[in-house]
Chain A
Amino acid sequence: MADKIKVGFLLLGGCAGCEMSVVDLSEKLVDALEHIEIVFWAPTVADVKYNDLESMEDKTIDVAFIDGMVRLDEHIHMAKVMRKKAKTLIAFGVCAALGGTAGLGSLHTKEDLFQKAFKNTPTTDNPDGIYPQPSCLVDGKYDLTLPAYEDKVRTLNQIVDVDYYIGGCPPHHSHVGAAIGALVSGQLPAKGSWITNGKAVCDVCTRNPAKQGGNLARTMVDKVLRTVDGTPDADTCLLQQGYICFGPITQGDCGGSCLNVNIPCRGCGGPIPGNEDYGAQALSTIGSILKDDTVTAQLMEKYPNLAKFFYRYALPSGTLPKRM
């Protein structure tokens, strides 16, 4: 079939969890393969190398999915190559879209991170403090190179133009299925938008008091608890119990997965429309439902680093994208 949609996957600075979501489609993926052809999937699944992508003609890939944040010069280079080869580029998962948890690395200096990762962890034996270098001459003749480490984490759209965004850490496989379905049928939204069902997590959450026919009077959060402080009641809204949850401002393409297992939402789905800075919006929303100063003080005591709390998945996309 000549008219199959050509699809490519590229992993940058991520854990490949988003690609696991694609694999989790299982039989659905097999069905979809009647309509799509995977021409590139690196460095994880297919046995292709980066130079295979570089040697493709421009615009040969119909839809490219890029997952993971941008931290290395190699990531920047490959993102630019993929942009050239692809007609449509999708930032796949919250790392590519907003920076992801790895984006919190921007709150630390490169020196701190290197010391932690390559010297100070209990299982590391590195008394001489040898750190990875971008280039190294071995035996006086072998010039070896490693990708260089940039000073901060970037989102994909800070490097190249992105056509669509898909949130989630990782995106729920049913959402990936719906996105691929939309792709195959050509029913995609306007460029630059998120592929989403357009609902907040609260909208799909079974704990929502509106769905339970319970008390709809506005109740303020009168205490702050962390999940280590006890086991939340499985049927009541977590915010009403004092467990801070970002459901009200997060896209609910996950179907409320975390809420179903008694874990509060931390915002991997990305911001609901009309909101450009996720962490600032989270702070604003939570701030407006805390009952009084003592509860606010309690929150600041329970969560010692608010930047890491509110920007769990979104720091590089924020107004202040790194530690100053």
Chain B
Amino acid sequence: MEFVPNIIGFACQWCTYAGADLAGNLRCKYPPTVKLIKVPCSGRVKPEYVMEALAGGADGVLVGGCHFGDCHYKDGNHKTKNRMDMLKKMLGDLGFDPRRFRREWISGAEGKKFAEVITDFTAELIELGPNPLKGGVK
């Protein structure tokens, strides 16, 4: 059977989630690989959420937030950047391919970018193959 990646996406309700909406309105085509979870702010995404998704077998995790200067809460996305950049490195230290995790800035007007990111991420994950933790942490 062909491998279809399973991506968990945490999307800020003010930007990336609206961007995903717009991608739909624009009839953009992208693979049906992402399960979006709406969060109030990308700064609300704890590193645990990403790790839990990977531990539970997700092939990739995406955290989508606002561009700098656009954050509804002023500096939420700055925290996201600091945390998620460190998390990406720590996932590497824990033996994961860091490419399984992406942090992207996608505004509500960037429906096309959302579709491109998912298409690109899916292609990369197909290359990487399934998460070695499929079936849970042993």
Contact = CB atoms under 8 A, between A and B. Distances in A.
Interface of A: 107, 276-277, 279-281, 283-284, 286-288, 290, 292-293, 295-297, 299-300, 305-308, 310, 318-324
Given A107-B93, A324-B94, A283 B79 contact: no
A288 B55 CA distance: 24
| Secondary structure class of chain A's binding surface, majority of residues | helix
* Nearest 10 Cβ contacts at the A-B interface: A287-B83, A307-B93, A324-B95, A323-B95, A306-B90, A319-B51, A287-B82, A280-B47, A280-B48, A288-B79
B93 A320 contact: no
Given A292-B78, A319-B51, A307 B86 contact: no
Contacts of B1: none
19 contacts: A276-B48, A279-B90, A280-B48, A280-B51, A281-B46, A281-B48, A283-B83, A283-B90, A284-B83, A287-B86, A288-B83, A290-B82, A292-B78, A297-B85, A300-B85, A300-B86, A305-B93, A320-B51, A322-B95
A266 to B, nearest CB: 16
Nearest to A300: B89
A284 B82 CA distance: 9
B70 interface: no
Given A277-B51, A280-B47, A284-B47, A320 B94 contact: yes
A288 B82 contact: yes
B66 to A, nearest CB: 16
A279 B89 CA distance: 13
Contacts of A287: 79, 82-84, 86
Interface in B34-65: 43, 46-48, 51-52, 54-55
Interface in B78-109: 78-79, 81-87, 89-90, 93-96
B132 interface: yes
A322 B86 CA distance: 18
A295 B79 CA distance: 12
B47 A283 contact: yes
A277 B48 contact: yes
A296 B85 contact: yes
B94 A296 contact: no
Given A283-B83, A292-B78, A324 B96 contact: yes
Contact of B81 (A277, A293, A300): A293
A192 to B, nearest CB: 20
Contact of A107 (B48, B54, B94, B132): B94
B26 interface: no
Nearest to B54: A320
B132 to A, nearest CB: 6
B87 A283 contact: yes
Nearest to B53: A319
B28 interface: no
Contacts of B86: 283, 286-287, 296, 299-300, 306
A300 B88 CA distance: 11
Contacts of A319: 48, 51-52, 55
Given A323-B95, A324-B133, 13 more contacts: A107-B94, A283-B90, A288-B43, A288-B83, A292-B78, A295-B82, A300-B89, A306-B86, A307-B90, A307-B94, A319-B51, A320-B54, A321-B137
A276 B51 CA distance: 13
A292 B137 CA distance: 34
Contacts of B137: 320-321
A293 B46 CA distance: 18
Interface string B4-45: 000000000000000000000000000000000000000100
Contacts of B96: 320, 324
Contacts of A283: 47, 83, 86-87, 90
Contacts of B82: 287-288, 290, 292-293, 295-296
A295 to B, nearest CB: 8
A307 B90 CA distance: 5
A286 B90 CA distance: 14
Interface centre among B55, B90, B94, B133 (most CB of A within 10 A): B94
A76 to B, nearest CB: 16
